[in-house]
Amino acid sequence: MLLIHCPYCEETLPEAEFAHAGQAHVVRPENPSAQSDEEWENFLFIRSNVKGPHYERWRHVHGCGRFFNAVRDTVSDRFLTTYKAGAPRPDLETLTGEVK
Amino acid sequence: MSEYRVSGRGRIDSTQPVTFTFDGATYRGFKGDTVASALLANGVHLMGRSFKYHRPRGAVAAGSEEPNALIGTRRGAGRFEPNTRATVQEIWNGLETSSQNKYPSLKFDVGAVNDAAYMLFSAGFYYKTFMWPKSFWDKVYEPFIRAAAGLGVSPTEEDPDTYASRNLHCDVLIVGAGPAGLAAARAAAVKGVSVVLVDENAEAGGTFLSEPQARIDGKPAWDWLASELAALREMGVRIMTRTTAIGYYHQNMIGLCEKLTDHLAELPADTPRERLWRVRARQVVLAQGALEKPLVFHGNDRPGVMLAGSAQTYLNRYGVLVGKRPVVLTCHDSAWYAAFDLHRAGAKVQAIVDTRGSVRDELVSEAKSLGIPVKLSHTATATSGRLRVNSIRVNPVSGDTVGAGEKIACDAVLMSGGWTPSLHLFSHTKGKLAWDDDRTTFLPDVTPEDCVIAGASRGLWGIEAALTDGADKGRAVADALGVTRNAVAYAVEADRTGTGVSHKELPTDRSPGKAKAFVDYQNDVTAKDLRLAVREGMRSIEHVKRYTTNGMATDQGKMSNINGLNIASDALGKKQPQVGLTTFRPPYTPTSFGAFAGYHRGAHFELTRKTQIDAWAEENGAVFEPVGQWRRAWYFPKPGEDMDAAVRRECKATRSSVGIFDASTLGKIEVVGPDAVEFMNRMYTNPWTKLAPGRCRYGLLLGDDGYIRDDGVIGRMTEDRFHVTTTTGGAARVLNMMEDYLQTEWPHLNVWLTSTTEQWSTIALNGPNAAKLLQPFVEGVTLTEEAFPHMSCVECTVAGMPARLFRVSFTGEIGFEVNVPAPMGRKLWETLWEAGQQYGITAYGTETMHVLRAEKGYIIVGQDTDGTVTPYDCGMGWAVGKKKPDFVGKRGLARPDLVAEGRKQFVGLLTEDGSKLEEGAQIVFDPKQQIPMTMVGHVTSSYESEEVGQPIALALVQGGQNRMGDTVYIPMPDRTIAAKITSTIFVDPENARLKI
């Protein structure tokens, strides 16, 4: 069972308290009706399928109830970091120590 | 003393005799014996029949890796367990055990005919032998295979035992209490560091238990072990025996299964049978040791052929000679020591046969001094003996030439094919393995977990090496925890180090096609099967494994994986790492369902949510149905009524006078705040700005893809407060979706969301007399058409209780939903029930609710919709606030596929012959077309309807809204039913009945 740090509760807690909520940083457009079919399709359906560090959303559903973001390595299943919703996307090179 | 018991040897308690039965016969052993050691002490090797060929089999090993000696154990009614390893099960007075896979008896088994027909059962036989004729599969092949296959018999009664579940946090968890584990515990155990040491065996000690000859720091091994365990306990180390680390999960969580009662004659009160531990350790030391490999040669599965190291364990730990005239067959030094131990204990070792051309001088000279014949550069090509080995055929090997065979009479063959480090838990961590060419085995490489591996499980042989490595690893984990420890050294005398070589099958002079040289005993996989799999095109070890089932039995290939890999890689002409090792998965050894279920059984298996009115329904004879986690009253039969009759009566009473219904399970969400109306405008399709406080409206919730997700009536209680209702099953999902949009897309909106489902009891009154019944109890509002029209809501008092009163209808009749604080629900229900007697008030359940709503064409989300249905498909375009700049799903509704012609649309169906359709039945336009027909929709709801006078159905049909009056067809297995497309509203299309 994974251990997940809730950036709102500032505690590291067992995975059973959390629910995965899909890819992070998929912003709903300000004015959806102005979107082309392709843009809307992209927003609705197209997701990355990352092997390695992945930006994703979790919800502390059995705790504070807040949605937050995380970077999780899909190979090792390790959380590299978690951060509050709305915070900027953390830099991968800093997190992994690797320069691409 | 039994015939094969050696007086004065072993750790059994010879002052405590124990009597047990095996296949009905009574045997004696001692406290400390396993079933296997006690049977072997009585000269019994035959313990079971094999899985596929029903060949006679005996114990090969002495521990949890045992593939053959699987037995059923019984302790009175309900306490039967199949597939228990006889090598692990401790005996107690009265234990009943039985062999498996035999009929009529273990010694004479008719299934053994499979053995003679072995050519039919080679690798992949399922895919080949049973292909033809096709009609034979159902009636002949499958029943035969099902009857013949399977290990043991499932218990038939409910398990009366209890199983516990615990969490444990520690600094260091050490798996395996042999030399490496003990030394690691000693090194890591300092003040302030919590250490847990677990071992699957009945006692701690590992190799020490089988090697009493060793002396550590001047003390005999068993004395040293006793004082070391006492010292560790003194230091606060928690030592858990009979405790198997079954799996290594993310971030150093290890599952342990602790067996508490299987070894006891009397079951103690209030003690669970097993306890499942979820351990979270900061550091883990894996010291699981190594497992001995069998040698692969013709007849290597005959009872009496076993691992040399296990024979040594039976002698030294249990005081049992597995044979009096054994032959030792080996490619590793370790078996020589086993030979010497047995010889000194009174056995006459007939020969030590080693495949190697040269062996350490000291071993050869010790054999000679004991008078044991030695045959180097020899192979074994056969064994004989029907139910027990009575001879072995050995042949000299020179280069590639196998010389003439010589038969050696014997009563046991002790074999050793070398040792495999136990890497199971390490592999669970996604740890990488590295191939070691010298040892012909995989060794642990790197792991993402905070875990080290020590001793024989990383290829180190001998007690001193294991102790030293264990101490080093113990210091390393202490260091990782910030504690500095000094290095320690152990002085070990009479240590048994050694080397060996590794083999594929042993060389033979026989036709390889006829050799029954077993690799996987439990699944009856031979070397020939593996080579056949490669010949038939399997390239990866994963394919070879699945085609042959090598390593797929309950022992997970503990003995067979490396032998299988060596043979497969030889057949492929590739090095082993290029062929790869199959993945080990939890659990390490078979684990009971009880341990995993723990407390979650019976009523605790799944939560059942009940409303405050549930008890009344039960007292009044309701039949219940599960809806989500709720149990809801389905219908209320009177004596002699079946479901149809009860539902007919409930429908009629509601349409003609008044019905009462418990609607408390409806999801309820309170949406409050200055931006509540804006939030509602964005979430739901409908416009909310102009909805006045005191009014309610049917709301539709879509996903951003434009499809219907949920619906419900929403009341605006005040300017900034909405009482939202959702479907019973959708409540949590809807709140999650609202929170998601509020928190992450519109965090600037000043709105609070609260689940109030369980804060309210909701009672629905429906029928022409509903207002008359309710009015006398209501203070604060008059229930007239003018003062409280349809789709009104108000906070008022009902029967003296604070209430939120809604005038809504899910039946087409005059309807009210009264919400009162949940605990008051039953009191209000009983008040209305009593007062309603003058109107013949009738309680109805969910089935009647479904019929009444279907007669009006009201959808049930999830039944009439399936996640691909839009409001327009349902004829509910009127609920879409087209003028709003945005709402969830607005852009989705404009997607090309959602505005295309020919979408499936919601319609009514009336059958021409008056029969009732089946929900889920497929619909076609032309019943005479060729099969497969073009399906154009399906029936979503179907009910008998007294009111309509014939059964009614709702359906999704391609372009249905433009096909009113058309006939469509529903092909069923026995006939095709014709039905006319109608409006979805079957009753009172003008809504006249809604008026008071």
Structural domain that includes position A68:
3-27+38-96
> How many Cβ atoms are within 10 Å of A31's Cβ, its own excluded?
9
C-beta atoms of A57 and B891 within 8 A: no
Whether the bond into B590 is cis, omega within 30 of 0: no
Q: Across the interface, do B739 and A33 touch by the CB < 8 Å criterion? A: no
Q: How many CA atoms, within 13 angstroms, populate the side-chain half-sphere of residue B921?
A: 22
| Stated pTM of the model | 0.89
Contact yes or no for A40 and B895 at CB 8 A? yes
Are the CB atoms for B178 and B186 separated by under 8 Å? no
State which H helix or E strand residue B208 sits in: helix B207-210
pLDDT of residue B377: 98
What's the rounded mean pLDDT across residues B136-155?
72
- State whether B736 and A86 contact (CB < 8 Å): no
Decide if B250 and A85 are in contact by the 8 Å CB cutoff. no
Residues of B in contact with A6 (CB under 8 A): none
Digit-coded pLDDT (tens) for B285-301: 999 999 999 999 999 99
- For residue A32, what is the nearest residue in chain B, using CA coordinates? B891
CB-based burial, B511-530: b 16+ in 10 Å, e otherwise: eeeebbbbbbbbbbbbbbbb
pLDDT of residue B789: 97
The 10s digit of each residue's pLDDT in B224-274 is 999 999 999 999 999 999 999 999 999 999 999 999 999 999 999 999 999
- Asked, for residue A9, whether it belongs to a domain, the answer is yes
Q: Express as a percent the part of chain B with pLDDT over 90.
A: 88
Question: Are B180 and B436 spatial neighbours (Cβ–Cβ below 8 Å)?
Answer: no
B791-826 pLDDT, tens digit per residue, is 999 999 999 999 999 999 999 999 999 999 999 999
Is the pLDDT at B305 greater than 60? The verdict is: yes
What's A8's DSSP letter? T
Contacts of A32 in chain B (CB under 8 A): 704, 886, 890-891
Q: Is residue A33 part of a domain?
A: no
**Mean pLDDT, range A45-64, rounded to an integer:** 96
Region of residue B690 (phi > 0: left; psi between -120 and 50: alpha; otherwise: beta) = alpha
Judge contact between B18 and B318, C-beta under 8 A.
no
User: What b/e string do you get for B74-87 counting C-beta neighbours within 10 Å, with b at 16 or more?
Assistant: bbeeebbbbbbbbb
Tens of pLDDT, residue by residue over B399-456, are 889 999 999 999 999 999 999 999 999 999 989 999 998 888 899 999 989 999 999 9
**φ, ψ (nearest 5 deg) of residue B215:** -125, 130
B514-523, B754-763, B811-820: segment of lowest average pLDDT: B514-523
**Distance, CA of B265 to CA of B92 (rounded, Å):** 5
Identify whether A81 is part of a domain.
yes
Quote the mean pLDDT of chain B: 95
Q: Which residues of chain B lie closer than 8 angstroms to A83, CB-CB?
A: none
CATH code of the domain covering residue A61: 3.30.2270.10
Q: In this structure, what DSSP letter does residue B67 have? A: S
Residue of B744, B748, B749 for testing the chain A interface, max A β-carbons within 10 Å = B744
Residue range A3-33, pLDDT digits in tens: 999 999 999 999 999 999 999 999 999 999 9
**Is B651 within 8 Å of B947 (Cβ atoms)?**
yes
How far apart are the C-alpha atoms of B700 and B683, rounded to whole Å? 9
Asked if B894 and A33 come within 8 Å (Cβ–Cβ), the reply is: yes
pLDDT tens digits along B900-919 = 999 999 999 999 999 999 99
Q: Is residue A57 situated within a structural domain?
A: yes
In this complex, the residue of A1, A19, A85 whose CB is nearest that of residue B253 is A1
Q: What is the 3-state secondary structure (H, E, C) of B715-758?
A: EEEECCEEEEEECCCCHHHHHHHHHHHHHHHCCCCCCEEEECHH
ipTM confidence: 0.97
- Segment B458-472 shows an average pLDDT of 96
pLDDT tens by residue, B177-205 = 999 999 999 999 998 899 999 999 999 99
Q: How far apart are CA B158 and CA B77, in angstroms?
A: 9
Is pLDDT of B603 > 90?
Answer: no
Write out pLDDT tens, residues B327-378: 999 999 999 999 999 999 999 999 999 999 999 999 999 999 999 999 999 9
Q: Which of B251, B252, B739, B752 to mutate against chain A (most A CBs within 10 Å)?
A: B251
Residue contact A33–B891, C-beta within 8 A: yes
Q: List helix spans (H) across A1-48.
A: 37-45
Give a yes or no: residue A32 inside a domain.
no
Q: How many domains does chain A have?
A: 1
Q: How many CB pairs under 8 A join A and B?
A: 57
Tokens of A28: 């709903």
At B145 the pLDDT is: 67
Instruction: Note whether A40 contacts B739, CB cutoff 8 Å.
Output: no
Average pLDDT over residues B463-482: 97
Residues 6+ apart with CB under 8 A from B433: B423, B426, B427, B442, B443, B444, B445, B581
> In this complex, which of B250, B743, B895 lies closest to A66 when CB atoms are compared?
B743
Query: Which among B953, B974, B836, B968 has a CA at the least distance from the CA of B906?
Result: B953
Model confidence pLDDT, tens digit, residues B954-966: 999 999 999 999 9
Domains of chain B: 13-125 (3.10.20.440), 163-290+421-493 (3.50.50.60), 320-396+405-417 (3.50.50.60), 503-584 (1.10.10.1100), 662-837 (3.30.1360.120), 895-996 (2.40.30.110)
Nearest CA among B220, B178, B184 for reference residue B203: B178
**B51: pLDDT strictly greater than 90:** no
B156 confidence band (pLDDT: 50, 70, 90): confident
pLDDT at position B282 over 90: yes
DSSP state of B444: E
pLDDT of res. A100? 46
Going by DSSP bridges, is the β-strand pair B451-453/B492-493 parallel, antiparallel, or unpaired? Answer: unpaired
